[in-house]
Structure 1
């Protein structure tokens, strides 16, 4: 009889190792699930932090929005897959809980201890469900942010297209204005050339037919000896008569040229390459050439020519007509040139 009771006690004690193993396995599963969930939470927080950085750099990285959107889609899919795995694990844990609950129901002697563990497992499962719900909420927020980014990209693309269209219109208008301006300028140049020809023709008529007054290119040239004594910037009596004739021609021309043509008569003074005399009040040929040009301009103003239509310039010896060093070459280079041009 004692042997029978001992065998009964032994058979009753055999349940505990299996129960302990099952509980240990369950705890390992729960710990594993918690570890997986913590890792998921860590990666999720890192991902959300990365998203905030991407959003802050949006204004300066518009050219990378397409790649960022693709990356966001991939990350969203990864999160959804992670949530699916967590949900599958939760389903497994719930199944294991149900199985353990069945085992606990068969073990009346360990009801109170098992009930406490079941309650703990249920709390753990509830906590994991709440975490999963938060993860789903974060995924939804990320999806909303992606939608907002898509709308912003659409708006930026529309603005860019509108800007490109306006730019093309502006380019077309600028090209058209340029063509019109070139045509207008060409017409003005031709018109001024016509008046220049008329002006030179008139000068040939009214000025004395002297060899030291001639036309060179688009300039009317006076040899300096016609107007000035050697080394002087004062117009002599003979030169004053020629300047008076020139003034009359300019006044006649002023009445003929339309107001919209902004013309001027440029008076250029030139000397030969020989230095000025030490007795002269001018230190350089440049000063002498400029003073002579100014004297001609003043004489024309005295004759009634509008000062706004006159320009005086001195070139010294640096624009010779003849590079020779003979007296004839020097005489050709000492000159006053008149050029009708636009301002």
Structure 2
């Protein structure tokens, strides 16, 4: 069998150093951009919070000034009305005094009393006029303050628009950097699967479907078992070596892991060790992970999952379909 054949020497790959250097430089640039983005977003967030507080305070002051201006206008109107009434009374009294002087019929006492009332009314009119002038000055000052608050609000709104534009630009840069990382990881994944296929060979039971590398369970395990057999250990040794090389090649700022998924056929298992196909698929995935860790693969780069019979590749009912569905899938994903 192909599994028992001796390992064939691999031809050296000359393009790795240059590619790694290029990707390292690219990803260092991405790290710099992300760092600038995080710092800028921190300061922008603080500025936005401060701006919101300032705008709220300005809105409250504007409301208070508007209320005060309304009160001052009301007081001014009352004062003007009082002034007008006083002027009318003064005019009537003056007319009365004038008539009395002309007719000579009014007693001097009544004339003196009228003149006294006229003087009092003049004092009231003067006070009302002074109060009206004061209210006019206060109203003018309130209008100036209100205008200043409106200008401040307009400046804050303009600053907010500028900050929102900066945040949008930083988000666009971050999205571009993340997209570049995803493309870099996809390139590593494609290269890894190509290398893995060349290492493991083109023997039956090995295939690539989309972004997954598939090993049939019979290559690694006996029927109903979750212990890696001797032939399977040889294949996993090759996988471990390729994973270690991949871990060295991918820059540390790209988060990734190899997910090991266990799958079974839909025939019910009858075993004292496993209560269900789900338990068997999970145990097989964990066995592969533990074996790879024992060969030096970093544990943080591995994850195990069991799916039982619930994600078949072949919905058929024959033995060939069941054989295809009993498998271990390898998939490189981001964290």
TM-score of the aligned structures, taking structure 2 as reference length: 0.70
Which has the larger Rg?
1
Gaps of 5+ in 1: 1-57
Instruction: Identify if the C-alpha distance between structure 1 residues 332 and 152 changes in structure 2 by more than 3 Å, giving closer, same or farther.
Output: farther
Aligned to 1:295: 287
| Corresponding residue for residue 155 of structure 1 | 148
3-state SS of 1:95 partner? helix
Corresponding residue of 2:89? 90
**Residue 16 of structure 1 corresponds to which residue in structure 2?**
none
Alignment-derived partner of residue 304 in structure 2: 312
Matches of 2:250 and 2:101, distance apart in 1: 117
Report matched runs for 1:123-202 at 5 Å.
123-202=116-195
Supply the distance in 2 between the matched residues of 1:177 and 1:251 (Cα, whole angstroms): 35
1:157-198 deviations in whole A, cap 9, x for unaligned? Answer: 222222222222223222322332233223222222221122
1:257 matched to 2:257? no
How far did 1:268 drift? Answer: 1.7
Cα distance in 2 for residues equivalent to 1:213 and 1:84: 105
In 2: Cα distance, 1:314 partner to 1:76 partner: 82
Residue segments in structure 2 that go unaligned for 5+ positions in a row: 1-57
Q: Return closer, same or farther for 1:269/1:137 CA change in 2, 3 Å cut-off.
A: farther
The answer to whether the Cα contact below 8 Å between 2:207 and 2:213 also exists between their aligned partners in 1 is yes
Q: Secondary structure at the match of 2:305?
A: strand
Take 1:276 and 1:118, find their aligned partners in 2: how far apart are those partners? Answer: 127
1:216 equivalent to 2:215? Answer no
Question: Are the counterparts in 2 of residues 72 and 146 from structure 1 also a CA contact under 8 Å?
Answer: no
RMSD (CA atoms): 3.3
CA–CA separation in structure 2 for the residues paired with 1:231 and 1:144: 97
Could you list the structure 1 runs, at least 4 aligned residues long, displaced by more than 6 angstroms after superposition.
Answer: 63-69, 71-74
CA contact (8 A) 2:220 2:233 kept: yes
Deviations 1:53-92 (A, max 9, x none): xxxxx955958988996x7797578557525532430331
Q: Which residue of 2 aligns with 1:48?
A: none
Q: Check the 8 A contact 2:76/2:136 in 1, yes or no.
A: no
Distance 1:68 1:187 in 2: 59
Kindly state the Cα deviation for residue 338 of structure 1 after the two structures are TM-superposed. 0.9
Q: 2:313 corresponds to which residue?
A: 321
| Separation in structure 2 between the aligned mates of residue 118 and residue 284 of structure 1, nearest angstrom | 122
